[in-house]
A and B are shown apart, each in its own frame.
Chain A
Amino acid sequence: GQNIDQPTEMTATEGAIVQINCTYQTSGFNGLFWYQQHAGEAPTFLSYNVLDGLEEKGRFSSFLSRSKGYSYLLLKELQMKDSASYLCAVMDSNYQLIWGAGTKLIIKP
């Protein structure tokens, strides 16, 4: 079967750095996406990785290792507005997105 694993919940402090991990087992791989979802709202796109390595976009970075079936999302200089769920999704060989259940990130002052 296809599976995406992420921690259910994480807590971090305003101004700090947090790393949210994602491991996956899918039938084929055509890229990995990270989305942010605030409570009661729709997901919004953060990043896309298809090659190994780190993609940096402002305070957010995303890393991929295809051989390990592993990705992480790194959030720097945390702000209260970063409190949200972060969803990892992998595009499989049929170009279907397989979604994780999301990691709820709680930011404390």
Chain B
Amino acid sequence: DAMVIQNPRYQVTQFGKPVTLSCSQTLNHNVMYWYQQKSSQAPKLLFHYYDKDFNNEADTPDNFQSRRPNTSFCFLDIRSPGLGDAAMYLCATSRDSGGANEQFFGPGTRLTVL
């Protein structure tokens, strides 16, 4: 089945220790997104790529970086995680960027910062 896969599902890191989250998709979609979602809050868009065209949201902290080496894979790097970065990180894809292009989400990676 075509899908969005995220690894790991659960990640525990120490304060200040870099961590990388990965996402892959078999949908062959052009657009990939990284969201941060905290409990009972709306998903917050961190980055999105249209193909290899990178778009950084204005309020995404410099502590967060992203890479999309090819169409299928996307990575989220958190250079120095703080306690406030503990959250669910959701990867999503869409066929295109406009109109009725629903986003398909992976299962998420829940990040704990000790």
Contact = CB atoms under 8 A, between A and B. Distances in A.
A99 B43 contact: yes
Contacts of B103: 33, 43, 45, 97
A79 B41 CA distance: 25
Nearest to B97: A95
Q: Is the interface of B mostly helix, strand, loop or mixed?
A: loop
Contact of A41 (B40, B97, B108): B108
A45 B102 contact: yes
Contacts of B108: 41-42
B100 interface: yes
Q: How large is the interface on B (under 10, 10 to 19, 20 to 34, 35 or more residues)?
A: 20 to 34
Interface in A39-68: 40-45, 48, 50
Contacts of B104: 45
A19 to B, nearest CB: 20
The 8 closest A-B CB pairs, nearest first, are A42-B105, A99-B42, A45-B102, A101-B42, A95-B98, A95-B97, A42-B108, A48-B100
Interface of A: 4, 8, 30-31, 33, 40-45, 48, 50, 87, 91, 95-97, 99-102, 104
Interface of B: 40-45, 88, 90, 97-100, 102-108, 110
